[in-house]
Amino acid sequence: MLIKHKEALEIKNVPIPEPGFGQVLVKIHACGVCHSDIHIRDASTGKSRLNLILGHEGTGVVSKLGDGVKTLSIGDRVGCPFLAISCGSCEYCLQGWEPLCLRQIRRGLELDGCFSEYTVADADWVAKIPDSLSFEQAAPILCAGVTAYKGLKETEVKPGQWVIIIGASGGLGHLAIQYALYMGMKVLAVDLGEDKINYCLKLGAHAGVDISQPDSEKKILQITNGGAHGVLVFASVTEAYEKATKYIRRKGFLVGVGLIRGQFKVDVLDLVLSRKSIRGSYVGTRQDLQEALNIAANGGVKCDISLRKMEEVNQVLDELEKGIIKGRVVLRMAKL
């Protein structure tokens, strides 16, 4: 539980919540740990409320139904993602863009999350986990997976075209590599250090470039024959965004996902004359999430996870902040 910003989370005993109308009580089996949990803990992208349970990649089973629930049954396998609910009536919701809703409620930010044994969720907003997908494998798909998948869609890269993934060895990046391959894209992995590049190549990336090398930009442009059709940025540093603008070919897209406060420089002349586009991408819709889960269930994507105990959450967050975690950490909840 978040008691004070920029301080370690505390483990506390709290009452099991009761589901209200249209809600279900979910017994959590596993929950992924996301870099956004660090932003929320440290209030680096805006302050959350305190006495808040973090975690927005929770998977488990429905253990109790609230009044009015007709689409779920006790024992159903479900996931509780970051986007907990939107208003359903604004211009964005009506167009199927509920992640842009100005009245959305986000799990582990405005609403208690899944670093817990139980959580309450709106029945219409949980994802159904396919039977062939374990709770541990499904957990990272609820945020990292759907964010990577949606980000790739936003690049508009077609089968056979190049996509560059910056920050390719991390929790989102390692999934983006696999989703991109499933979607028929040619993948160039970009990251810091030879070991991370070798990891990406083992995942199936067609090529990799260590960005710390002095000739990295030249290599990237050579490999992609003048630049990629799309560049996906997961790295949360300004320099990554500035460099990414140079890696796009004419009529290509830069899609930003990594969160930073501040600005980055863009060569406007190049932007205009080369008809380059820059856009952001933030999680995904309920349909995007179900597609991402189904691809994983069909064997198209496998999360590289390490399982840890809930009591290790602060250690995990520190390791994640230092950038020493490859893939994704999933916490197993106690007393299953």
Tell me what pLDDT residue 124 has: 95
Nearest CA to 150 out of 50, 325, 284, 320 is that of: 284
Question: What is the rounded distance in angstroms from the CA atom of residue 118 to the CA atom of residue 332?
Answer: 12
pLDDT of residue 336: 46
Distances (CA, A) of 25 to 32, 61, 118, 120, 203: 19, 8, 7, 5, 37
Q: Is the dihedral of CA 119, 121, 125, 131 positive or negative?
A: positive
The reported pLDDT for the residue numbered 35 is: 85
Q: How far is CA 251 from CA 86, 159, 276, 302, in A?
A: 33, 16, 5, 32
Q: Are residues 153 and 177 in the same domain?
A: yes
Q: Do 79 and 204 fall within a single domain?
A: no
- According to the model, what pLDDT value does residue 335 have? 54
Helix (H) or strand (E) segment spanning residue 318: helix 313-322
Indicate whether 96 and 209 sit together in one domain.
no
Say yes or no: 273 and 154 in one domain: yes
3-state secondary structure of 176: helix
Host H or E run for residue 165 = strand 162-166
Q: Residue 186's beta-bridge partner residues? A: 162
* pLDDT tens digits, one per residue of 261-281: 788 888 899 899 999 999 999
pLDDT, tens digit, 9 for 90 and up, residues 230-257? 999 998 888 899 999 999 999 999 999 9
Same domain, 53 and 116: yes
What is the pLDDT, as a whole number, of residue 334? 58
Cα–chain center distance at 263: 22
**127 shares a domain with 41:** yes
CA distance 28 to 31: 7
The answer to the question of residue 16 being in a domain is: no
pLDDT along the chain (336 residues), means of 10: 94 94 97 91 83 95 97 97 95 94 94 96 96 96 96 98 95 95 98 94 97 94 97 91 94 92 87 93 94 96 93 93 84 72
What is this structure's pTM? 0.92
Print the domain residue range for 230. 146-280
What pLDDT score does 48 carry?
Answer: 80
What's the CATH number where 40 sits?
3.90.180.10
